[in-house]
């Protein structure tokens, strides 16, 4: 018994040492959100450029009041799986509104985007099937793909010729192509039009994870697929970003929904999201549809950030995107942590993102510009970045 305990203690100790040695150790900080752009930590206020609340709806008064009204009407929780008594009328209404908005036959609610992505893989993809995912795809999908019985291959980031070769090699089989609409760590758009055409040419289904595009781009915020005028067979949208809440939905055909209702173990054996949350999400959806001014403000803020950084001639800031996600790819873990700490000392909160979240050698600060940031806050961020790089002889 003692020897077994020592094996476990050694495993834990060595694993922790390894992460710390690589400057890859992670901790969590208990913070208080004052607003969508302000954080209180140990009685100090910080400007946050790390959250994904792109439109500020997490603090929207109408959304908050909707959730309160939902609690008064439906209580705090759903009490069970949706397959027992957890699925309510308001859940059904939310699914109907989402499917109508995005032009699908059906929508299916999940408790998280992670669960939704994993459910698709584990429910649909079997032995002798193939999954082809963009190399920069989210961990929720790639992890499930690696653990599934299906053949899993990654194509080079946004590279249609790489995808073409994979599809051609596995032609005539049940193939699923996966990409994000807007990539979570780089902020760039997928080449959705070309990926969609390539998938159709080889009779493969296309799945798009648009967690970072929905609500922000396209008509009424319908997302990146609307921008490129495509209709993938499976669309995943997250509620933890522009919706300002949490959870997710899969948009699909009626046949696909019925299949998932019967084969998705994560759906069947998980407690349904609270009805009160669905009430709040309905209000978030209403806000998103009419939030053209917020989307314009986000675009203005992103352009202002780009101009400020270009004028400041910061060499590390050349990986601009059209979204609110603006990465500063430093490369080295330690340097990345030093930059994050420097900003923290200037009351700016930007987390260092390191492997395995991003590829080795691409550690970065993932700056997120939102519609609610002010020009003065963006200026402070850029001037602080400039001061850091002026004081440190880092070369890209």
| pLDDT band for position 332 (cuts 50, 70, 90) | confident
For residue 250, give the nearest of 16, 395, 94 by alpha carbon: 94
Nearest to 57 by CA among 242, 210, 211, 238: 242
Point out the least confidently predicted range of 26-30, 105-109, 239-243: 26-30
Catalytic site residues? 52, 138, 180, 184, 209, 212, 241
Q: How confident is the model at residue 29 (pLDDT cuts 50, 70, 90)?
A: confident
52, 215 Cβ separation under 8 angstroms: no
Find residue 353's DSSP bridge partners.
Answer: 364
In the numeric block, the tokens 């899993």 are attached to 152
Query: What pLDDT, on the 0 to 100 scale, is given for residue 4?
Result: 63
Strand order from edge to edge, sheet including 248-252: 106-110, 248-252, 234-238, 205-209, 175-180, 130-134, 151-155
H-run or E-run covering 235: strand 234-238
Strand partners, 178: 133, 207
pLDDT classification of 28: cutoffs 50, 70, 90 = confident
Domains and CATH numbers, the chain: 26-55+292-391 (3.90.1150.10), 59-289 (3.40.640.10)
Q: How far is CA 354 from the centre of its chain?
A: 16
pLDDT, average across residues 299-311:
93
pTM, 2 dp: 0.93
* DSSP element (H, E) containing 20: helix 2-21
Q: Is the dihedral of CA 209, 212, 218, 220 positive or negative?
A: positive
- 179 beta partners: 208
Q: How far apart are CA 99 and CA 67, in angstroms?
A: 21
User: pLDDT digit string (tens) for 95-150?
Assistant: 999 999 999 999 999 999 999 999 999 999 999 999 999 999 999 999 999 999 99
Supply the DSSP symbol for 189. Answer: B
The answer to whether 371 and 378 are in contact (CB under 8 A) is: no
């Amino acid at each position: 018994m003692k020897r077994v305990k020592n094996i476990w203690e050694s495993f834990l100790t060595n694993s922790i040492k390894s992460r710390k040695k690589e400057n890859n150790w992670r901790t969590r900080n208990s913070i208080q959100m004052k607003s969508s752009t302000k954080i209180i930590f140990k009685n100090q206020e910080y400007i946050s450029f790390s959250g994904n609340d792109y439109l500020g709806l997490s603090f929207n008064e109408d959304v908050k009041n909707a959730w309160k009204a939902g609690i008064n009407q439906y209580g705090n929780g759903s009490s069970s799986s949706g397959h027992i008594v957890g699925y309510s009328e308001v859940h059904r209404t939310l699914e109907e509104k989402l499917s109508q908005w995005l032009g699908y036959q059906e929508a299916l609610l999940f408790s998280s985007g992670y669960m939704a992505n994993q459910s698709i893989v584990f429910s649909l993809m079997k032995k002798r099937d193939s999954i082809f995912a963009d190399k920069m795809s989210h961990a929720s999908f790639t992890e499930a793909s690696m653990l599934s019985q299906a053949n899993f291959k990654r194509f080079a980031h946004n590279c249609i010729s790489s995808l073409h070769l994979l599809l051609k090699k596995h032609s005539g089989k049940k193939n699923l192509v996966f990409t994000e609409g807007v990539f979570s760590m780089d902020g760039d758009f997928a080449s959705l039009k070309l990926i969609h055409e390539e998938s159709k040419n080889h009779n493969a289904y296309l799945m798009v994870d648009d967690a970072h595009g929905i609500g922000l781009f396209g008509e009424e915020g319908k997302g990146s697929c609307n921008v490129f005028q495509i209709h993938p067979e499976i669309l995943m949208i997250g509620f933890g970003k522009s919706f300002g809440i949490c959870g997710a939905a899969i948009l699909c055909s009626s046949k696909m929904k019925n299949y998932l209702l019967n084969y998705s173990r994560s759906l069947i054996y998980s407690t349904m999201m609270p009805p009160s949350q669905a009430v709040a999400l309905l209000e978030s959806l209403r806000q998103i549809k009419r939030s053209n001014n917020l989307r314009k403000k986000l675009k203005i803020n992103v352009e202002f950030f780009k101009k400020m950084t270009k004028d400041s001639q910061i060499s590390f800031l050349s990986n601009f995107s059209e979204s609110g996600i603006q990465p500063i790819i430093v490369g080295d873990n330690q340097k990345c942590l030093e930059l994050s700490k420097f900003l923290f000392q200037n009351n700016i909160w930007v987390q260092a993102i390191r492997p395995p979240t991003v590829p080795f050698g691409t550690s970065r600060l993932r700056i997120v510009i939102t519609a609610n940031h002010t020009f003065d806050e963006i200026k402070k961020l850029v001037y602080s970045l400039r001061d850091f790089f002026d004081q440190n002889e880092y070369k890209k």
